[in-house]
Amino acid sequence: MGNVFISLDENHEELLRKLAQEEYGGKKGSISLIMQRALDVLKQKQENVQKRLEARQKLLLRIKNARKLNMLKNKKAYESRDELYER
């Protein structure tokens, strides 16, 4: 286990200590546990952002490929507007 020394302003230090007290009851190492949980949350958030970006890129690629296929066929997706609203 490594040690990291950080400097916090008074408000954040107070908040950190309060959260540690509420969550772990002042148990030894509670500040470390709170910080580890915060880092886990940040990491998960970053992974979710990355997954959304990858999904967006895949979708854009599919759209681009669909347009190319449609152009190659030189055919409209539908022949007339009425086709869209067949009853």
Three-class DSSP category at 83? helix
Confidence of residue 81 (pLDDT cuts 50, 70, 90): confident
How confident is the prediction for the chain on average, in pLDDT?
86
User: Measured in whole angstroms, how far is the alpha carbon of residue 69 from the centre of its chain?
Assistant: 32
Ordered by start, the domain boundaries in the chain are: 10-77
Statement: residue 87 has pLDDT above 60: no
Helix axes 10-24, 30-73, angle to 10 degrees: 100
Average pLDDT over residues 50-79: 79
pTM over 0.85? The answer is no
